[in-house]
Amino acid sequence: MFGLGTIRGGIHPDGHKENSSRLAIMTKVALPHRLYLPLCQHSGDDAVPIISLGQHVLKGQLIALSAGRQSANVHAPTSGVIVAIDTITMPHPSGLPANAIVLEPDGLDKWIELNPPKDPYNTPPEALASLVEQAGIVGMGGAIFPAAIKLRQGRRFEIKTLIINGSECEPYLTTDDRLMQERAAEIIEGTKLVRYIIEAYRAVIAIEDNKPKAIAALKKAAEGVGAIEVMVVPARYPMGSAKQLIQAVTGLEVPAGARSNDIGVLVHNVATIYAIQQMLIHGRPLISRVTTIAGNCIQKPQNIEALLGTPIQHLIDACGGLVQQPARLLMGGPMMGQVLPSLEVPLIKGSSGILALTKAEVNTHVPNPCIRCSRCVSACPMGLLPLEMARSVKVDDFDHAQEYGLRDCILCGSCAYVCPSHIPLVQYFEYAKGELAERRTSQQKMTYTQELMAARTARVKAEAEAKMAAKKAKKQRTAKPANAEASD
């Protein structure tokens, strides 16, 4: 039904990419007064600080160690002094506080001693995966899933195809585009390294057809390199979603509830590949990233290579500041990005873009009743029924919403984009997924509590039985002499 290069549904939103894509990446940005480094810049548990207040650290030094599920290391983005280990406001719509390390730069920008492997291709793949883990590298397309976990999962499965995601389908964002144009050789080298680690048969770098310069740069860099193909895919949102890209590149569809590994495919973003190359060739941990600063409120939209922990206000100032007060401030793209509570929040590993949008760029329509036009059904890349899911969610009937495929919803926003009634469908689905996650957490806690109660009951019963047995044995021992005297 869907051949190579095509996906189900999808939309064609206005790109708004020309302002930031025409300029080279800004690499020289003044150091901020302080860097704010959250202990959770990944999809799992907080990292644990291994430094103390007042300690002087060097650039690239490990300052927080991964701990628990899907956690990742945190490193010092520059040399300086640790001035606080406290809570800060996270770049999240909730504005909730999170644990963070505050670093005051000393202006020297002095590196630790770097020790990359002498010959990565003669180093065991598991050792390379461990180096990626030590570097604190996570998925930099937005998923922030630790990259080393994916590499190890890839080694456990027979991976036929490694896909490097260079589609960057979100409007405004041009981070990957500029990275591919300016650092194509490094991306090809990173692709070779990941292919070596997971032992994939082939690698495909997939780029949307609206990025001709990036396509040309990567094709030139890939000349003479075997088993790496640069594939052009149509510019259609959400082509950048892993499941849609897999369908476009291989013609295969990831089954509901399954992972790409199950069909022999592994996907990494180009920025993640670049970070892996920097670690395995140069020994550099993840301490900075390229991010797009854009929107009509920005004086000079462009891409900046900035240190992690840099306040957003500092990055906007580097682009000439604001021309007017933003109607909405986003981290990420306008389709799937998160609303930011203020300009004081820091840049984190998953910050692919910072958008300051005017009122004209923001959908401020008042929602109207659903007219049952089914445009959302046609636009859904997962083949779901958004109108039915939304109707169930409105009355908190999450079980029926799941029957209509809520678990498979990727929250891409295509349905809300085409809705003539301007119904905030994505918000409904985010709310439902959050409630279901809370239910699962509550159920897990209840199950754990029941297991503890059962264990305690069994322990108390065993202790009581042991006491009774001891008492009975003692009674038998004291009864023997009396019986012996009576027989005499």
384 and 279 part of one domain: no
- Give the separation between CA 364 and CA 15, rounded to whole angstroms: 19
pLDDT of residue 35: 97
86 within some domain: no
Q: What are the backbone angles phi and psi of residue 416, rounded to the nearest 5°?
A: -65, -35
The two tokens of residue 190 are 């990173």
Q: What is the CATH number of the domain that holds 267?
A: 3.40.50.11540
- Give the separation between CA 248 and CA 166, rounded to whole angstroms: 13
199 within some domain: yes
137 and 284 part of one domain: yes
426 within some domain: yes
267 and 131 part of one domain: yes
250 and 395 part of one domain: no
Q: What are the backbone angles phi and psi of residue 87, rounded to the nearest 5°?
A: -95, 145
Q: Which of 101, 109, 129 is nearest to 27 (CA)?
A: 109
The one-letter amino acid at 27: T
444 within some domain: yes
429 within some domain: yes
Domain end among 290, 322, 346: 290
280 and 375 part of one domain: no
329 within some domain: no
The two tokens of residue 127 are 């050792």
232 and 141 part of one domain: yes
Distance set, CA 30 to CA 109, 110, 315 (Å) = 11, 15, 9
275 and 154 part of one domain: yes
Residue 349: how many CB atoms within 10 A of its CB?
A: 25
370 and 259 part of one domain: no
283 within some domain: yes
377 and 267 part of one domain: no
Domain end among 290, 307, 323: 290
pLDDT of residue 487: 46
218 within some domain: yes
Show the low-confidence residues of the chain (pLDDT under 70): 1-5, 93-94, 480-488
140 and 225 part of one domain: yes
- Give the separation between CA 232 and CA 226, rounded to whole angstroms: 18
Range of the domain at 441: 365-449
- Give the separation between CA 436 and CA 410, rounded to whole angstroms: 15
272 and 162 part of one domain: yes
Domain end among 229, 256, 290: 290
Summarised one tens digit per residue, pLDDT across range 273-306 is 999 999 999 999 999 999 999 999 999 999 999 9
Look at the chain and report how many structural domains it folds into.
Answer: 2
25 and 172 part of one domain: yes
